[in-house]
Amino acid sequence: MADVACRPLIVTMSVDTPKGFDSMSDNLTIPLNVLLGRLASVASQDKELIAVLRRAAEDFLRLTEPPAKPALPAIPIIEDETATEPIITRDDISPPVVAPPQHVSLPSAPGIEIPTAWFRRLLSEENSLQLIEGRCRLKAEGARWAAARHRRIREGASFDAEIEPKDREIIAKAQTLENCFLWMNHLTAPVPVDLQCWEDVAGCFEAAGIAVGLLRQIIEMGDDYRGFLEKAIDLTAEAQSALRLAVEMVEAKADNDQYSLFKWLRQMATEQQVFIRRYMRLDDPADPTQWNDLQERIGKLDVEIDERRQRDKQRTKLLKKGQYHARLLRDGKGSASDWGKVIDAVDTLVGQGIPPSNTDLRDMLLPIVDDLPETSEIPEGFGRALREIDGHLATQGPPAPHFLREVSEEVRTVAELYKDKTMVIIGGDRRPNAYEAIKSAFCLKDLDWVVTRDHESTDMFVPYIARPDVAVVLLAIRWSSHSYGDVKGICDKFGKEFFRLPAGYNPNQVAHQILQQRGKVVAV
């Protein structure tokens, strides 16, 4: 009987209180807790008082029972001559049929990107993951307090100084959450022989709360983080299963939040055909004593998501920086320093995993790519982005707006040199827009654009270079895997002018390279 003194004595008022009684609830809660606490202390030494309290508790519980339901069919009683008491069989009684939960879809919450329509259900009042998260976290605290309360009372702690203040605190927290019933701190809560069981209950509630919080976080971050969703769902399924077993271990009734979480997972899996690997069946339970390991795994996923989020922020910042300097170059206000910042931004972004075909990179570089100045070395990431842009431009029809600029005096000079003659460009992909721009700007009779591939022999260039009407050969060294010395030797053999094209295809740049290299000997 001494265990009675150790039972939780926190009183929580029913949600369905009579009209006019609401204002009395808060005033009565604390005095009743103090009174019951004192009675428990006295009752531990008085067996007669214990019996009286038990009868009073039973009468009180009968008053709170729901209205009587229709009587069940008569149950046959079979007399067993060898038994001292009658044996009752219930084979003819069918279990009650529970209607499936009804879900109401709501519109998207402002400011939150919902990946798919079924996520909107999470925002409904009856099945809010945010409420489940909050209640699970508070129930974890309540379970730990239940164990600590029992220990302190057994050790003779002062009720007024050590017990009652904590009772008041946890009651106040529960009142801030909708439909939060701290059953582990209620008068009728079970009292396990091993109080360590409460630690497992607390750990499992905490794991469930953390898992739900992470799940909500991924949903609110939108489709870009959908790859993490499957991992979070599996961890949440394990957390709710472990919680169910932990509650059973202390011989308590099923917890509403655990069951709500299970229903959400089941409904989601059914509607969206999502496969949840484990822990959604009674015969596949999670181990409630391994809650610490489960929390660590949830934490690792959280860290992984946070690292991805930080990388995304840095990438966005770097992309905006590159776009700013690219705009300066596009508007004719840039310099070599701006080119350096654009090249570094693109190279870093590609190195961090952004595909070189990324549309943001493409849109940034397309207006300026053919104004790229000659550089001693092109970084690998930037070079990959250039190759993707080259391939993209090869599929675009003429004309390209960024080629339609005022031509320079150098373009007019080159046009006088090669008017009605044929030019050969070796390297890269043939861009229709660049092809038309160069041919028109230099008044060429024809322009042969020879596409090169890795490890091809330079012998394949001979038929193009040897033609009598060919006057000049340009080697786009940025795209060519061949030594320009080999091509120059062929040009010298057939008496053709040879120039390197180290940068873009803008006619102004092409003209500048031709005139610059005509004035000096090109090193081989």
* pLDDT at position 58: 67
* pLDDT at position 46: 67
Q: Dihedrals φ, ψ of 426, to 5°?
A: -115, 125
Q: Could you write out the DSSP letters of every residue in 175-241?
A: HTSTT---GGGBTT----SSTHHHHHHHHHHHHHHHHHHHHHHHHHH-GGGGGGHHHHHHHHHHHHH
Helical ranges in 366-483 per DSSP H: 380-393, 409-418, 432-441, 462-465
3-state secondary structure of 319: helix
Identify the bridge partners of residue 425 per DSSP, sorted by sequence position.
Answer: 449, 474
Residues of the chain with CATH 3.40.50.2300: 407-518
Cis bond upstream, residue 95 (ω within 30): no
- CATH fold, domain 407-518, is Rossmann fold (3.40.50)
* pLDDT at position 470: 94
Output the tens digit of pLDDT for each of the chain's 524 residues.
444 444 444 444 433 444 444 444 445 555 565 566 666 666 666 666 666 677 776 666 666 665 554 444 443 433 444 433 333 333 433 334 434 434 333 333 333 333 444 444 444 434 588 899 999 999 999 999 999 998 898 888 888 888 888 988 998 899 898 889 999 988 888 888 888 899 999 999 999 999 999 998 888 887 778 778 889 999 999 999 999 999 999 999 999 999 999 999 998 888 777 889 899 999 999 999 999 999 999 999 999 999 988 988 999 999 999 999 999 998 889 888 999 999 999 999 999 889 999 999 999 998 888 778 776 678 889 888 888 887 777 676 554 444 445 668 899 999 999 999 999 998 877 778 788 889 999 999 999 988 877 667 888 889 999 999 999 999 886 655 556 668 888 999 999 999 988 767 788 888 988 998 888 544 43
Identify the bridge partners of residue 449 per DSSP, sorted by sequence position.
Answer: 425
